[in-house]
Amino acid sequence: VKYELFYWPELQGRGEFVRLALEDAGASYTDVAREPKGAARMQRLLAAQRAFAPPFLQAGKLIIPQTAAILHYLGPKLGLAPANEARRAELHAKQLTIMDWVVEVHDTHHPIASSLYYEDQLDEAKRRAQIFLAERLPKFLGHFEAGVAPRARISYVELSLFQMIEGLRYAFPQAMRKLERKHPRLVALHERVQKRPRLAAYLGSERRLAFNQGGIFRHYPELDAH
């Protein structure tokens, strides 16, 4: 099966969770909006209400939006989730929690509205980020640290946790320096995922976009811990 991923061409964003799964599995896929005329095709599907927002995946006639739903669909097909329904539901629930976490990361720099400039919500962003770093980030990290099974088979959830650590290190280097000491299993999991041969090749390739100030993980020093 040839998969077509639709996502904003200049961002890691939520699309990256899907890219990591496809890349780790060595799946045949196209990152459509990064191809000539692909961005217009994505806009046409959005205008036709085939999805509310990117990312979405096309597999033949099927179009699936929502990051967690895409991964739930792809998981067993890519060898990144077992076929067992109960285990799949557990993984899906974990991925949904990761997607909640992603929203909270995003809201540190855009707490009022995505449509407003960062500079126009700076005071709220500072307040939100401070509470995120003090309360929510330790809670999310602690939750996933407790669930790491060091030798367990890697699923799409572990790939997503790798991406969370990557993004948080970029966005909040000071805060993460302190917090990582308390979450050694997550740090070890990040290393383990990073070394997977196909993923390592992807991360070193031009297909892996750099973090930037348009994505979910943004580095504003004034929002980081001091």
Query: Which positions lie near ligand GSH, rule CB under 6 A?
Result: 13-14, 53-55, 66-67, 99
Measured from the CB of residue 48, what is the shortest distance to ligand GSH in angstroms? 15
For 169, counting Cβ atoms within 10 Å of its Cβ (0-12 exposed, 13-18 middle, 19+ buried), the class is: middle
How much helix, strand and coil, in percent to the nearest 5, is found in the chain?
60, 5, 35
Measured from the CB of residue 67, what is the shortest distance to ligand GSH in angstroms? 4
Cα four-point dihedral sign 6, 156, 21, 115: positive
Measured from the CB of residue 178, what is the shortest distance to ligand GSH in angstroms? 28
CB atoms within 10 A of CB 12: 24
Q: Are 31 and 5 in contact (CB under 8 A)?
A: yes
Measured from the CB of residue 151, what is the shortest distance to ligand GSH in angstroms? 29
Q: Report the number of secondary-structure helices (H) and strands (E) in the chain.
A: 10, 4
> Which is nearer to ligand GSH, 55 or 111 (by Cβ)?
55
205 DSSP 8-state letter: S
> Which is nearer to ligand GSH, 89 or 103 (by Cβ)?
103
Measured from the CB of residue 150, what is the shortest distance to ligand GSH in angstroms? 28
> Which is nearer to ligand GSH, 136 or 185 (by Cβ)?
136
> Which is nearer to ligand GSH, 13 or 111 (by Cβ)?
13
> Which is nearer to ligand GSH, 101 or 162 (by Cβ)?
101
